[in-house]
Homo-oligomer: A and B are copies of this chain.
């Protein structure tokens, strides 16, 4: 049993314990049990409980601060359930205490009436901010940033800065990176808490701050933001508007989610599906079918091209019916060989390991690999066909020559197409296995029958 499974079993047992206590109305020992549980674990337990009523009772038993922490770990669906069920006072508390980015995530999923209700609670200033944040495009830096950062005045001494951080620190998403801004909120420097802690208390912020900053623009795509985090290894990065005014920060924990979502999206695209960040189990059968059907249809129609080629050679096939028995093996091997190459190249482009300018290096590399793979596979297949299956040498030669060409063509195309797509500003991930298979099938059958015509007549 692996770690994952063990964690899950633990959560399940704790869930059952809690339900048992609820059934027995043993609220006193339950409350003690709950507050001793880790917030993230408790959030998962609440998500796993089928009865919404029980989930709500548990949530309401938690001490206020603790409840908000647990709430912030919940998935958005459960958050919406709870937020819709609690009293107005409780809701106000949650909204007040949640970090701004978590609140925006929640509001984005709630019905309009609910958003209006929440906006009544907050100060006019915050209301304006909420409305601005809700306008940032999905997947932009603006949509994932938060406003709870520590901003310092450049004329502060370290001592003043530390006093200020001591006062405001608990309500900030991070205090480990502080941002130095002017009166007009222009970002002019960054200073880490580590620097503050290890510096002389009388030094000025302006002398300590890093001015050569790496920053993000509100409209940057979240994938580019993730790339910057990977590159520089920061814990947080500032987000600025076109006037270099600091409008928010993004912290590394949010980036971990982005990275996971972006990888999932690539997996989905590469398997010919419309990508979604919804959970598989929570998505309806119709939505899932809708994400898959268009691609299946396009690929099915494209695949019928192969039928045309086979038809063209039906007199050949009529004479040598045995040729048809090798069709699936040839097309499958071509598809597999192409998928290997395109997967490596697509992933390399995504991680930055391969650049568009490496085009010829990749082509030459795949050409040589395909030569090795094609010849080896053909050789082994030839021996098998002649000595085990007892096919004629000419038939075996036809199959194996085609095999070499198919593997070479698939691998070179698998290397070329993703880079070409990127060059033309398409997503390389669509140039994966399914599409390559369809392209290669047609070409390999054309080669197959051409070789057969030459060798067998």
Interface residues of A (CB under 8 A from B): 2-5, 7-8, 36, 38, 40, 44, 162, 165-166, 169-170, 175-176, 193-194, 197-198, 212, 214, 220-221, 224, 227, 229-233, 235, 252-253, 255-257, 259-260, 263-264, 266-268, 270-273, 279-281, 285-286, 288-289, 292-293, 295-297, 299-301, 303-304, 306-308, 310-311, 314, 317-318, 321-322, 324-329, 331-333, 335-337, 339-340, 342-348, 351-358, 361-362, 365, 368-369, 372-373, 376-377, 380-381, 384, 407, 425, 433-434, 437-438, 441, 445
Contacts and interface: CB of A to CB of B under 8 A. Distances in A.
Nearest to A351: B260
Given A8-B355, A280-B345, 6 more contacts: A2-B425, A4-B224, A166-B197, A170-B198, A235-B235, A331-B332
Nearest to A213: B38
A260 B223 CA distance: 13
27 contacts: A2-B221, A4-B224, A5-B356, A165-B197, A165-B198, A169-B197, A193-B197, A252-B256, A259-B260, A266-B267, A267-B347, A280-B362, A281-B348, A281-B362, A288-B344, A289-B372, A293-B377, A296-B340, A300-B381, A301-B384, A303-B329, A304-B384, A310-B328, A311-B325, A314-B322, A318-B318, A328-B445
Nearest to A201: B166
Contact of A369 (B2, B232, B292, B357): B292
A256 B230 contact: yes
A82 to B, nearest CB: 20
A346 to B, nearest CB: 8
Given A193-B193, A198-B169, A353-B279, A4 B227 contact: yes
Contacts of A253: 233, 252
B198 A299 contact: no
A160 B224 CA distance: 42
Please give the count of copies of this chain that the complex contains.
2
Contacts of A40: 231-233
Contacts of A292: 337, 340, 369, 373
A165 to B, nearest CB: 6
Nearest 3 CB-CB pairs, A to B? Answer: A271-B343, A3-B224, A307-B325
A193 to B, nearest CB: 6
Contacts of A176: 176, 193-194, 235
Nearest to A212: B38
B376 A293 contact: yes
Contacts of A257: 230
A377 B296 contact: yes
A229 B336 CA distance: 35
Nearest to A6: B224
Contacts of A170: 194, 198
A369 B285 contact: yes
Nearest to A343: B271
The winner among A169, A285, A336 for most chain B CB atoms within 10 A is A336
Nearest to A291: B340
A343 B256 contact: no
B373 A296 contact: yes
A344 B345 CA distance: 21
B329 A327 contact: no
A397 B8 CA distance: 47
Nearest to A437: B332
A292 to B, nearest CB: 5
Contacts of A361: 281
B260 A344 contact: no
A362 B285 CA distance: 11
Given A300-B377, A321-B318, A280 B348 contact: yes
Contacts of A357: 8
A311 B322 contact: yes
The winner among A271, A317, A342 for most chain B CB atoms within 10 A is A271
A299 B351 contact: no
Nearest to A235: B235
A443 to B, nearest CB: 12
A316 to B, nearest CB: 10
Contact of A441 (B273, B332, B425): B332
